[in-house]
Structure 1
Amino acid sequence: MAEPIALLRGVTVDLVGRPPLGPIDLTVARGEILALVGASGAGKSTILRLLAGLQQPSAGKVSRAAGLGRTGFVFQSPTLMPWADTLSNVALPLELAGVSKTQARDRAAAALSAVGLGDRLDARPSQLSGGMAMRAALARALVTGPDLLLLDEPFAALDSVTRRRLIEDLHALWATADPRPAVVFVTHDVEEAVYLAQRVVVLAATTGRPVADLPTPGAPPRPDRWRADPAYRQTVEAVADALEAAMAPQAETAA
């Protein structure tokens, strides 16, 4: 595994009205794409917030590599400012970081072109389809050149064709970035996890503890018709079996 960019060690998170999550140990390597899968309530989004520094653990330690640059975060909804055009939405994090307005807008326009929205710079969020709005949110997360990109089920509300196209776009953007960001992607979809990621971590349903860590074959971007490859299908079944076991009551004592 490459150099770690972020680590959780013995992390627990106290929750109201239910047992705590953890203890959780997780390593994210620099430049890798990692998918987290687990039942609802398994702590997938909580792990993203811990990695982003948006939430502190009740116990244990969250470590980020020395010199770690910016962290991009894409949520389940695009969270674009409805009163601003697409270009202004994507330029915002640069302007907040002190980049001049002209340079910020130039970089935002380039980021939007990279996700296929170069002709929608003046559009308001209400004028964008769901897939377009998520592309804009992805451009906004990538425009600062993050070292760590966190994605919290960003494609869940989209149709299957749009989801596939966005995954291909994400692979292309990741592959051409220098340096490549580490990507942590949360999903309920096992096939999406295996196709997108280099490594899939399965979380126990109640504690959120990793109970399986499965590499995927090959490397993204994926070749044409890779979903029909037997190695892909076998990995999907292995992750699905691990997820089913993780949702069983005995998984908590075995973790």
Structure 2
Amino acid sequence: MAVSKRLRYEILRRDNHACRYCGAAAPTVKLNVDHVIPTSLGGSDKPDNLVSSCAACNAGKTSSMPNATPVADVDQATFRQAAELQAAADRRANARRRSQPSTATVRAAFRVHLIAVWTWAWNKRAHTQPTDEQEMQAFEHLALLADGSDMTSNQLTEIAFRAGSAQSVKVMEFVNTQLSEEQFALGADAVNQWWDSWEDVDGTGPSADHTAAFCDSLHALVILLDAVKQRDMVLAAAARAGRQKDPEIGRHLAAPAQS
């Protein structure tokens, strides 16, 4: 005989609306009223043979006797093997973490990169080294920009280069002259194109003064252009300027392609 709605309610209330097998409670899970001894095995519909059961436990129990022999316990060797595998995975993860630089290390390295760019640009333009005091002032400003702004690494590198080329420790004055990602990439490619074309002529590269002058003329040009649509034009002009050993790229923008 089917369990009545009244009896079902009483069983659920008796079991505190929780599965007697796993403890899961309503409304987290849907509860059924389950026969402890299945009716197919002679179980009755009496309250002492009924329990609250979640759908998962009820499906897993199926038509088995409550005193049926349980499945074999897990072999202890399996536990040991699982523990060993987990320990090995933990060791590999720890080794990877140790091999990766910390955020502080990466930040410090980038600061060093910025001051190196600033110092290099200063030296290439002035043929002198900045004083320790000047370098410290520039470093403090660059570190402040690197840690406190949301500018990209390319933009910060551009600022460091511009300030160094101007022999200025007032790095903040050059913040508004930074290039976009596309402009910076175009500028870097154009410098390489110009240098390679210059060197192809007789095997010698441009001087530091020529390089600094070309970078200045290139920057003045790139900030006015669409770095995506006019990329090929700028690279072609850089190649022509290099072949003619000319640090002024603007003179080669309208040159014929075969020059």
Instruction: Tell me if both proteins adopt one fold, taking TM over 0.5 as the criterion.
Output: no
Q: Relative CO higher for 1 or 2, CA cutoff 8 Å, sep ≥ 6? A: 1
* Bigger helix share: 2
| Structure (1 or 2) with the larger CA radius of gyration | 2
TM-score band, normalised by the shorter chain? under 0.3
TM-score (norm 1): 0.24
* Bigger strand share: 1
